[in-house]
Amino acid sequence: MTRHFLIVGAAIAALSVAACGQKADETKGAATPAEQAATPDANPAATVPTPADETKADVFAMKAADSDMFEIEAAKVAAKRSTNASVKKFAMDMEKAHMKTSEALKSAIAASGAAITLPTMLSADMQSKLDDLNKADAKDFDKKYADGQVDAHQAALNLLQRYAQDGDTPAIKAFAAATAPKVQEHLNMAEGLKKGFDTGEDVAKAKEGR
């Protein structure tokens, strides 16, 4: 009889633990941008070993500044060329946000004591991307801008996360760690924008019988 009660008790305890685990899973909400930025699984590319040159403060700073300048200039192009309210709002937000991160990078460099002179012109690669955006047909512009924003923010996020992990200068590592969640949020916004245009394109093709 005693053994029977022990077995029943153990079964009830096991069911209680399982129920608690299920409840915890059900109540767990979606990850915030900060959690996404800090979770390697949310961004597999960031788990790739950091290129040796990108662990150096000067190389990282040059690439981060180049990325910010591209975002600002691309936003200005979108503000002028787009007729889509969502695109224009996103562009305005990106211009303001990346002006702030540009200033934060300068402050981090000053705090670090590193002798780094940031670029004042876009790299050839970024200039080429900006030129392509400027050349886009009016009917394709919004989608091209949205696609480019996803790619640009993913690359920036990878750069920030990797330097935050493997960088060689504490003050600049702190900047990278603090900025990554903001860029993750921008990436999420850009993906939402892109999805809207991709869905619209699919609907248009369906109407045409393609």
- For residue 171, the domain's CATH number is 1.20.1260.10
Closest to 95 in 3D by CA, of 79, 78, 81, 75: 75
Same domain (yes/no): 21, 100 = no
Same domain (yes/no): 3, 45 = no
Whole domain around residue 90: which residue ranges?
32-207
Q: Which residues contact 156 (CB under 8 A, 6 or more apart)?
A: 64, 67, 71, 183
Same domain (yes/no): 59, 19 = no
Using the Cα atoms of residue 125, residue 131, residue 135 and residue 141 in order, give the sign of their dihedral.
positive
Burial 52-89 (b: 16+ CB within 10 A, else e): eebbbbbbbbbbbbbbbbbbbbbbebbeebbebeebbe
The pLDDT of residue 29 is above 90: no
Same domain (yes/no): 110, 97 = yes
Residue 193 to residues 85, 91, 112, 175: CA-CA distances in angstroms? 11, 11, 37, 27
What are the backbone angles phi and psi of residue 15, rounded to the nearest 5°? -65, -35
CA angle (131 as vertex; 130, 137 as ends), nearest 5: 105
- The predicted-structure confidence for 98-134, as pLDDT tens digits, reads as follows 999 999 999 999 999 999 999 999 999 999 999 999 9
- The predicted-structure confidence for 52-82, as pLDDT tens digits, reads as follows 678 899 999 999 999 999 999 999 999 999 9
Same domain (yes/no): 2, 104 = no
Same domain (yes/no): 107, 196 = yes
Same domain (yes/no): 90, 170 = yes
